[in-house]
């Protein structure tokens, strides 16, 4: 099967949060939580994946000289991982109380959440159950996977930003929206 989307999450009460730290499940994470999880009372740690087959197929097509097919398969893999994250958010929506909403999704490697935090995220969420593992360089395998944290809290308190770029200091980023 080309795509095998899977995902898992764990939901935690926020034990403590400062501008630069978040404590959940007895573990203190470091990052710009004061901005990204502003207003949150609970935090969901999640891992989703599109599975590994799509990337294996993309690689094989590239190696066979069919780079365009490889590129398209790779893009489908990215789309599938993103779709899995959105599907997980829908599932997580069932956990929202009356008048509650989500914060932005905050993932390691972005905006001050160092890749080292992957270790903590993988401790908090049962990533293995989604078939996702970390490499020694702390990248996820399968590569078309997304990990992160989403805050849940009162709708009028959580930061409802239009774009994460508003919180990002990389002014000359080519991906800025």
Partner 1 sequence: MDEYPDLRNAILTGSAPSAAAAAKKALEGGADPVAIVEKEVGPAMNEVGRLYEAGEYFVPELLLAARATKEVFGILRPLLAKKGAKPVARVVIGTVQGDLHDIGKNLVAAMLEGSGFEVIDLGINVSPDKFIAAIREKQPQIVGLSALLTTTMPAMKTTLDGFRNAGLRDSVKVMIGGAPVTQAYADSIGADAFGENAAAAVSVARKLVAC
Q: Which residues bind partner 1 (CB under 8 A)?
A: 58-59, 62, 65-68, 70-72, 74, 109, 114-115, 135-139, 141, 143, 172, 174-175
Shortest Å, Cβ 86 to partner 1: 22
> Which one, 24 or 121, has the nearer CB to partner 1?
121
> Which one, 140 or 150, has the nearer CB to partner 1?
140
> Which one, 80 or 158, has the nearer CB to partner 1?
80
> Which one, 91 or 114, has the nearer CB to partner 1?
114
Residues 8, 13, 14: CA angle, nearest 5 degrees: 110
Instruction: Give CA–CA dist 177/168, Å, rounded.
Output: 11
Shortest Å, Cβ 65 to partner 1: 7
Shortest Å, Cβ 174 to partner 1: 7
Shortest Å, Cβ 44 to partner 1: 23
Helix (H) or strand (E) holding 20: none
Shortest Å, Cβ 149 to partner 1: 18
> Which one, 72 or 87, has the nearer CB to partner 1?
72
Nearest in space to 141 (alpha carbons), one of 60, 72, 83, 56: 56
Contact 124, 43 (CB under 8 A): no
Helix (H) or strand (E) holding 175: none
Bridge partners, 6 (sequence order): 49
Reported as half-sphere exposure (CB side, CA atoms, 13 A), residue 104 has a value of 20
């Amino acid at each position: 099967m080309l795509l095998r989307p899977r995902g898992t999450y764990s939901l935690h009460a926020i034990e403590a949060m400062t501008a630069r730290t978040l404590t959940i499940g007895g573990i203190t994470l470091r990052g710009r939580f004061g901005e990204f999880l502003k207003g949150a009372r609970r935090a969901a740690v999640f891992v989703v994946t599109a599975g590994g087959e799509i990337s294996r197929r993309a690689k094989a097509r590239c190696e066979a000289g069919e780079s365009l097919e490889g590129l398209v398969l790779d893009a489908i893999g990215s789309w599938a991982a993103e779709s899995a994250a959105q599907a997980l958010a829908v599932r997580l929506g069932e956990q929202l109380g009356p008048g509650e909403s989500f914060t932005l999704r905050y993932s390691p490697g972005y905006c001050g959440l160092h890749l080292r935090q992957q270790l903590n995220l993988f401790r908090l969420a049962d990533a293995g159950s989604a078939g996702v593992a970390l490499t020694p360089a702390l990248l996820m395998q399968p590569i078309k996977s997304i990990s992160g944290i989403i805050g849940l809290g009162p709708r009028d308190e959580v930061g409802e930003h239009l774009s994460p770029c508003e919180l990002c200091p990389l002014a000359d980023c080519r991906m800025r929206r």
